[in-house]
Amino acid sequence: MSHLEIRSASIEEALPVLQAIPEFASPVTHSDVIARLDGKRSLILIAFVDGQAAGIKIGYEQSSQQFYSWLGGVLPSARGYGVAQALLNEQEKWAKQQGYQSINVKTRNQFPQMIHMLVKNRYLIVATEPYPNSLENRIYFQKTI
């Protein structure tokens, strides 16, 4: 049985993990994260499996009522240990404690594991955005917390 730990992290700690997740089409840079989080209440979570960085989840305030789960992922070597679910649970718990009423997430058709996890956790599809390649279609989810 592996030991899983989740804690808040700095952008500097999060970047190497984000940059090692192969599903991101282009590497996320320090300035990308700074620009997205600038002036917003935010949460950066990092997961460790047996002391090794394993996954990341970054979100920020969209409004006083809504939190947006922006980026998340698990390193291929750490998949299958419940890391993504643990990060989702921790983010939901934090968002609820901060007084948010809902969490919004956007994903793409090309990430069926993410879609499955969101549906399993009672996130509802609230909108879709078609693209010429249907794998690129954006799917917008929301969960009341």
Q: Where are the domains of the chain?
A: 4-144
Q: Is 36 helix (H, G, I), strand (E, B) or coil?
A: helix
The predicted-structure confidence for 76-97, as pLDDT tens digits, reads as follows 999 989 999 999 999 999 999 9
Average pLDDT score over the chain: 94
The predicted-structure confidence for 6-33, as pLDDT tens digits, reads as follows 999 999 999 999 999 988 877 788 999 9
CA distances from 37 to 14, 45, 131 (A): 13, 14, 27
- Average pLDDT of span 101-118: 96
Give the rounded percent of residues in the chain with a pLDDT score beyond 90: 90
pTM value surpassing 0.85: yes
Q: Identify whether the C-beta of residue 100 lies closer than 8 Å to the C-beta of residue 113.
A: no
Helix axes 83-97, 112-120, angle to 10 degrees: 50
Residue 1 has pLDDT above 70, yes or no: no
CATH number of 4-144: 3.40.630.30
